[in-house]
């Protein structure tokens, strides 16, 4: 009997050991799978995957995401916080300017002027998951940029952000127009009291491009895109700028002829016989790569390059030119909406090309690249677009419902909250570098 008891006891221990071993193996396998696939689903996790920056000379792409938070005792402490991942929460104190107080608002984004009946879209702020993102402080911003210059390089959404910044700064000072040309696509504004200049460079494809047909297959034009050639209209003008904010995306949905080394290599929906139809992502990656390579090739440019990530449109119930509209009146919660399809592809291309450029910039001698990740915050705001409130109802206009640009005031103001936080981070980094030099 005793022998049988000990045999049973040993058998039970063996089974328990096997079960524990199996659990450990299962946990290890699960962890390995998560490590492998998790990067594919950023920004829906609360971190920026480290595989995107393996250059020891560079910090995380979201290098601004060091924020001051309060610990349980109420004392301030500096900790790491991803400011770009969070939720929209009510902010009854907003907006901080109006369409009547700011003259910089483009007519097509002046939603209140053209009769938008609701105002709740202006009364939200971005709340990161692990810290607070301060509301834009115009005096602090101007203090940080005194004696400096900043350029927005891209399309009309880039200009939309510049107009938001001018409106936010209007509580302290309005700039003077110091543009060197009458072309509205290339503007310069100067804040005289702070010797601070803002510029905008119109380059919707970032690379050299030309329109060959006004209509094209989709009635939106047909363009020749020279995917490996710099666009001199901006690349020859940025040497002296302290900050560049680069962005592009929506124009790549239009038909285009793709050229490399002067030869036609294919097209995006050109519908021309014997021309290979390539995905939009092909041209987009090449253009982003070329634009960032252009910056790295400029020997005299010493500024900080900020790549702003893609802001998805919000057309529903049809394409943009087929009756689609954006009629929602509240933000999504983060669990309600996920980045997918082409939007996700464009976002990932930007992040991957950012990594390449940052590594090259570091090798060149510490040229700085930063990522202004507006994608998730923008994705969650279907309520912030002009829709049909960019003109009077009786006007005979060729515009469709606008679910690409942003009402002012509106969600795009938060992009400049992000920008100010990034400038604060740059200032802290610069101060730390100076201390190292003086030791």
Which are the catalytic amino acids? 156, 402, 405
Both structure tokens of 381 = 């705001």
CB 244 within 8 A of CB 153: yes
Instruction: Report which secondary-structure segment, H or E, holds 70.
Output: strand 66-70
User: How far is residue 243's CA from residue 417's CA, in Å, rounded to a whole number?
Assistant: 16
Q: Are 314 and 249 in contact (CB under 8 A)?
A: no
End-to-end CA distance of the chain: 80
Displacement of CA 284 from its chain's centroid (Å): 15
In order of 53, 277, 374, 392, the CA distances from 50 in angstroms are 6, 35, 19, 49
| Longest pairwise C-alpha distance within the chain | 103
Q: How many CB atoms within 10 Å of residue 355?
A: 19
Q: CA–CA separation, 198 vs 243, rounded Å?
A: 10
Neighbours of 9 (CB within 10 A): 10
Q: How far apart are CA 145 and CA 202, in angstroms?
A: 23
Contacts of 359 (CB under 8 A, 6+ apart): 54, 55, 58
Q: Which of 147, 127, 144, 143 is nearest to 135 (CA)?
A: 127
The sign of the dihedral angle between the CA atoms of 406, 410, 415, 420 is positive
Alpha-carbon span 28 to 98, nearest angstrom: 55
- Residue holding tokens 């449109």? 313
Note whether 390 and 114 are within 8 A (CB). yes
Instruction: List, as one string, the DSSP characters of 289-307.
Output: HHHHHHHHH-TT--SEEEE
Distance separating alpha carbons of residues 258 and 102, to the nearest angstrom: 40
Yes or no: say if 292 and 246 are a contact pair by the CB < 8 Å rule.
yes
């Amino acid at each position: 009997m005793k022998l049988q008891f000990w045999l049973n006891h040993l058998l039970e221990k063996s089974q328990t050991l096997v079960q524990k071993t199996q659990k450990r193996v299962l946990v290890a396998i699960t962890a390995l799978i998560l490590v492998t696939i998790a990067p594919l689903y950023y920004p829906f996790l609360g971190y920026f995957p480290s595989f995107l920056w393996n250059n020891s000379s560079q910090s995380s792409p979201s290098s601004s995401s060091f924020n001051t938070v309060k610990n349980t005792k109420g004392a301030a402490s500096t900790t790491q916080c991803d400011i770009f991942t969070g939720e929209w929460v009510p902010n009854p104190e907003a907006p901080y300017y109006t369409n009547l107080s700011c003259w910089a608002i483009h007519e097509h984004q002046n939603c209140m002027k053209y009769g938008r009946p609701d105002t709740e879209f202006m009364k939200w702020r971005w709340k990161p998951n692990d810290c607070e993102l301060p509301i834009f402080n115009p005096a602090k911003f101007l203090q940080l940029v005194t004696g400096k210059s900043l350029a927005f390089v891209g399309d009309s959404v880039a200009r939309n952000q510049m107009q938001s910044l001018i409106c936010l700064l209007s509580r302290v000072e309005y700039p003077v127009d110091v543009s060197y040309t009458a072309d509205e696509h290339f503007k310069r504004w100067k804040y005289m009291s702070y010797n601070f200049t803002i510029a905008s460079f119109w380059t919707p494809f970032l690379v050299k491009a030309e329109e060959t047909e006004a209509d094209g297959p989709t009635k939106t034009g047909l363009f020749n895109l020279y995917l490996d050639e710099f666009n001199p209209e901006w690349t020859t003008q940025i040497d002296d700028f302290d900050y560049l904010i680069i962005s592009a995306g929506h124009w790549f949905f239009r038909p285009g002829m793709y050229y490399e080394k002067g030869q036609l290599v294919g097209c995006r929906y050109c519908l021309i016989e014997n021309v290979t139809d390539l995905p939009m992502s092909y041209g987009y990656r090449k253009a982003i790569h070329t634009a960032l390579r252009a910056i790295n090739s400029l020997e005299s440019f010493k500024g900080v390059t900020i790549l702003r990530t893609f802001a998805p449109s919000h057309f529903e119930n049809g394409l943009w030119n087929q009756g689609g509209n954006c009629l929602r009146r509240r933000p999504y919660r983060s669990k309600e909406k996920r980045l997918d399809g082409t939007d996700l592809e464009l976002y990932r291309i930007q992040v991957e090309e950012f990594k390449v450029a940052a590594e090259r910039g570091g090798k060149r001698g510490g040229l700085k690249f930063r990522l202004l990740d507006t994608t998730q915050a923008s994705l969650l705001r279907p309520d912030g677009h002009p829709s049909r409130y960019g003109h009077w109802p009786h006007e005979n206009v060729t515009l469709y419902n606008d679910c690409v640009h942003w009402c002012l005031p509106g969600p795009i103001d938060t992009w400049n909250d992000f920008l100010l936080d990034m400038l604060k981070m740059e200032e802290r980094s610069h101060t730390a570098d100076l201390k190292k030099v003086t030791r």
